[in-house]
Amino acid sequence: MKRLFILCCFTCVFSTLGHAQTKLGLKFSPLFSFNHQMELTSDSLDAENDGANLKFGLGLVVDQQLTDTYFFSTGLFIVPKKIGINIQEEGGTFPNTLEEYNVQYLQLPVTLKLMTNELSPDFGIFFQVGGGFEIKLGDEALEEEYVLVESFKPFDVMVMIGGGIEYRVGVNTALFGGLSYQRGVINVIDETLSNIDLSVRNSVLSIDFGIKF
């Protein structure tokens, strides 16, 4: 099932390559991964977010021109995320338990990009909004003795907003940079070993650098 999904992703992305107005690119992104929502249903335990963690993502950008200023923007990206869970017992008689997991996703964004070049013909500003689908490639607990999470869901869904600048350095080549915020909308926890009702949704703040050609 996972291989079929990945094949469909590649098919969707590369099916646009036959059009004359399609731009390809490569993107590298230092990103901060954190849990924006964490809920634990328990009479005696409480869960808190463990903060942000620096990760690095990369992938392929595909921009399909729709009008002079609007583009359909997609691609395929490897996006690593951190799930940090700090478990505390109410009353403080039980020591805090911190468990951290690394989860890696293959992301297929589906976004609309507005490009303006009001400053100069070679210098543009863009705004981007949309969402995307993510399939889990793998997950790993940072320590073998972690027992809280048994498994993560095989997919995630996110919404995103972003913006940045693009500078044309040649007839068909442009450099770009910007910021984007991606917010997960579903609970990524599938099962817990302790039968605790745990819900985690994660977010990514990304600093993007890339080249299009």
Query: Tell me: the pLDDT tens digits for 31-86?
Result: 999 998 888 877 667 777 788 999 999 999 999 999 989 999 999 999 999 998 88
Q: What is the mean pLDDT of residues 134-149?
A: 89
- Bridge-based pairing of strands 70-89 and 149-152 is unpaired
The Cα 40–Cα 164 span in angstroms is 37
**118 DSSP assignment:** E
Q: With a cut of 70, say whether residue 169 has pLDDT above it.
A: yes
Label residue 147 by pLDDT band (50, 70, 90).
confident
Q: With a cut of 50, say whether residue 16 has pLDDT above it.
A: no
The number of CA neighbours under 13 Å toward the Cβ of 95 is 3
Structure tokens at 197: 């009702």
- Bridge-based pairing of strands 97-120 and 53-65 is unpaired
Instruction: Report pTM.
Output: 0.85
CA 122 to chain centre: 29
Query: Tell me: the pLDDT tens digits for 88-109?
Result: 776 655 557 788 999 999 999 9
- Residue 47: per-residue pLDDT: 77
